[in-house]
Amino acid sequence: MGMILWLFAIFLIGVPICFSLGFVSLGGVLLNGFPPLVVVQRMFTGADSIALIAIPLFMLAGELMFQGGMSKRMVDFADTLLGHFPSGLAMVNILACMFFAAITGSAIAATAAIGGIMIPLMKEKGYENTFSAPLSACGGSIGPIIPPSIPLLIYGVMANVSVGKLFIGGFIPGILMGIGLMIYSYIVGKKRNYKGRETRASLKEILHAGKSALLALFMPVIIIGGIMSGKFTATESGAIAVFYALIVGIFIYRELKFKSIIGALVNCAKSTGQVLIVVAFASLFTWIITVNQVPQAISAMMASAIHSKVALLMVINVILLIAGTFIDTTSALVLFTPLFLPMVQMYNIDLIHFGLIMAVNLTIGMCTPPLGVCLFVAGSIAKVSLKEQMRDLLPMIAVLIVVLLIVTFIPQTVLFLPNLLG
């Protein structure tokens, strides 16, 4: 338990979480009398996973699709479907985020790609930036839930469960998040007189926009269909997604240029480095706390105070919601997964179900102050401060927490599709 307390103490004085993990783990290695070489071995073992190769591949696919004009076509198609409703552009924003979520598993990428298009457009139509910025951030949080998903991939590796089933299990929770935010947007739009487009799109316009966006929308079908049919693994699907984005962006849409490809590769390399260094340090930390039987001690302590599955899930939700406000998603996943798994297994909670509970919890943290990276991305686009976003942000967070409770206490919202598809 002392290691956990030291970890949070070091983190709270301003040391980045990955280095906090490293310092505490190094101390644990030396105090236990292990040779320092163990540090390198465990870090290499943690990052040396074929499944983790999918992380840079999905990130790169999302970058290429944004640079290649696919996200713009998805926005246009969403506009023909929902743009005529009150607060139509807000609903278009959410639907476009859901479409983009099915391409890349990153909340930040979804917020930047769709927010970069929608926030200026919404401002032109009379929407307040203090509304459109938090809406884009919360919409972006759907990115890691609807497959493919980088957090679910990391959880699958750590918990040793099927990544394919985790991906499929994310569909219904992700759709519920989107519907909840759309309902809130509609209610706000009626009150504030946020008008949609003057005329409803004709069938011809819908078909034309759908045809233009078809190649972008077809990518999730290839990825998920290939995984579920057994034609290729999650990692292989990432490579196929990159190849598909290159072909469509260069030869069909003809908007993907050499300079854009280089920029996408650089951004992908930076993001991948940030994720994998956390995973490597976390692998060392997980090993040392396991050697010292910390998860078992925490499980015993929680078991003495918690006597039902409902109480356990409520406690875990509260802990993760609080942790998500100041720890990034990847760090929180690798920190809390090994701590909670023994208790979860003790109460026979399905590990696929628990993976989605963790993912939804921690992605809510990505649009919750003070860390709230998606809020800062959207705020920088809209040029509004975090304080200015709070009025509309809090009801949106409340909507997402309601969805979290539904996912937590109705397991079939996660397990129905994986069980149906075998």
Which residue do the tokens 């956390």 mark?
A: 278
Burial 394-418 (b: 16+ CB within 10 A, else e): eebbebbbebbeebbeebebbbebb
Cα–Cα distance, 340 to 344 (Å, whole number):
6
What confidence tens digit (pLDDT) does each residue in 313-341 have? Answer: 999 999 899 888 777 787 788 888 888 98
Question: Model pTM greater than 0.85?
Answer: no
Taking all residues of the chain, what is their mean pLDDT, rounded to a whole number? 85
What number is the average pLDDT over the span 71-82?
A: 87
What pLDDT, on the 0 to 100 scale, is given for residue 386?
Answer: 82
What confidence tens digit (pLDDT) does each residue in 340-393 have? Answer: 988 899 899 999 999 999 999 999 988 888 667 788 888 888 889 888 899 999
Cα–Cα distance, 88 to 228 (Å, whole number):
34
Please give the distance of CA 55 from its chain centroid, rounded to a whole number.
12
Cα–Cα distance, 269 to 414 (Å, whole number):
32
Label residue 220 by pLDDT band (50, 70, 90): confident
Q: Which of 89, 75, 85 is nearest to 131 (CA)?
A: 89
Label residue 422 by pLDDT band (50, 70, 90): low
What pLDDT, on the 0 to 100 scale, is given for residue 1?
Answer: 57
Which tokens belong to 21?
């993990």
- For helices 150-159 and 329-346, angle between their N-to-C axes, nearest 10 degrees: 40
Who wins on pLDDT, 186 or 14? 186
Distances (CA, A) of 81 to 47, 183, 295, 352, 415: 43, 15, 49, 33, 29
What pLDDT, on the 0 to 100 scale, is given for residue 163?
Answer: 87
Residue 285 · residue 21 · CB < 8 Å: yes
Residue 397 · residue 346 · CB < 8 Å: no
| DSSP secondary structure code for residue 202 in this structure | P
Which tokens belong to 162?
């099927």
What pLDDT, on the 0 to 100 scale, is given for residue 326?
Answer: 73
Label residue 82 by pLDDT band (50, 70, 90): confident
What pLDDT, on the 0 to 100 scale, is given for residue 406?
Answer: 97
Cα–Cα distance, 152 to 161 (Å, whole number):
10
Cα–Cα distance, 66 to 108 (Å, whole number):
13
